[in-house]
Structure formats: structure tokens, C-alpha cells
Amino acid sequence: MGMSVTIAAADEQDAEHILKLQYLCYQSEAELYGDYSIEPLTQSLDDLKAEIARGHALVARLGGEVVASVRGEIDDTGTARIAKLIVHPRMRRHGLGGRLLDAIEQHFAADPAAKRYQLFTGHRSEGNLRLYRKRGYEAVATREVGPRLTLVTLEKAA
């Protein structure tokens, strides 16, 4: 009998698991862009704990294992900045990323300060772009951050 994936708020105790998963998940992005110095691969545990404390983070668990995560926070302009949507490579292509994105949007929708959702990804990250567009996000800006990477910022109304 298979286990089902559950989604819940993350806390400080989840930080180490999230960081390890983040490191695993961003290997493919680093390879795609030829840059292993990207922030998700260099983020410290203390920085991640601070990020969780000041915003909101979710984890998806299969049994006791953290297999996916997303986090974000609302800034003073009412923008819910969603970041680091990660899914364990063996769990991809089963709708888990979409479920997490929906869940964090629902969390921020309950905050009257939230006016829009915003996230970004690399220009070659076709799977990410496809997911975000499918969920109603539209590209609003691009920013070249290096010779191989342009970040695409996408957003939609809350």
C-alpha cells in the first residue's frame, strides 16, 4: 500500500532537511546554466532558518521524508514573493509542485495585504516556466545576471 504526500507548514526543525533537498534539487539548474555558485547551492542553514522565520514555508512529506518545499513572504508593496519551489527528482512530474504552489498562494490569499504573487526562474528552465504559466503567471520582467543566465520574473494578481 502506497503512502500519500501531505503538505504542512515548515518550521525550524525542517530547515536542515529543506536545505539538503534544496542542494539536491538545484544541481540540475546549476548544470543547465553552468554555474554551481547559485544562491540555492551556497545558502547557509542559518540564513535558511531566518528566511523561514520571517516568511512562510511549506513542506511536502512522504511518510516522514521531506520531498518538496516552497517558501515566500509578503513585502511592503503587497507582493507575495514565492521562492525556491523544490521537488525531489524522484517525485517530479506527479503534480506536487503545482500542489505546493497552490497551497502557498492560498496561505497568502488569506492576508489582506497580498495584492499579487511573484516568482522568478531562469530563462532555460522550461519545466518551471511551463508550470508557472499553467498556473496563470505571466512574465513581467527579465534581468540578465550573467553571460549564461537571464532571470524571468512572473506574476499574477492575488
DSSP string, 28-69: HHHHHHT-TT-HHHH--HHHHHHHHHHSEEEEEEETTEEEEE
Tens of pLDDT, residue by residue over 139-148, are: 999 999 888 8
pLDDT at position 56 = 95
For residue 80, is it left (φ>0), alpha (ψ between -120 and 50) or beta? beta
Sign, CA dihedral 50-55-60-61, equals positive
Q: 1 pLDDT band (50/70/90 cuts)? A: very low
pTM: 0.92
Q: Grade residue 11 by pLDDT with cuts at 50, 70 and 90.
A: confident
At 141, list the grid cell.
520582467
Cell of 29: 539548474
Residue 5 is predicted with a pLDDT of: 93
The answer for 34, left when phi > 0, alpha when psi is -120 to 50, beta otherwise, is left
Q: What is the pLDDT of residues 15-52, one digit of tens each?
A: 999 999 999 999 999 999 998 988 999 999 999 999 99
Helix pair 45-54, 15-25: axis angle to 10 deg:
110
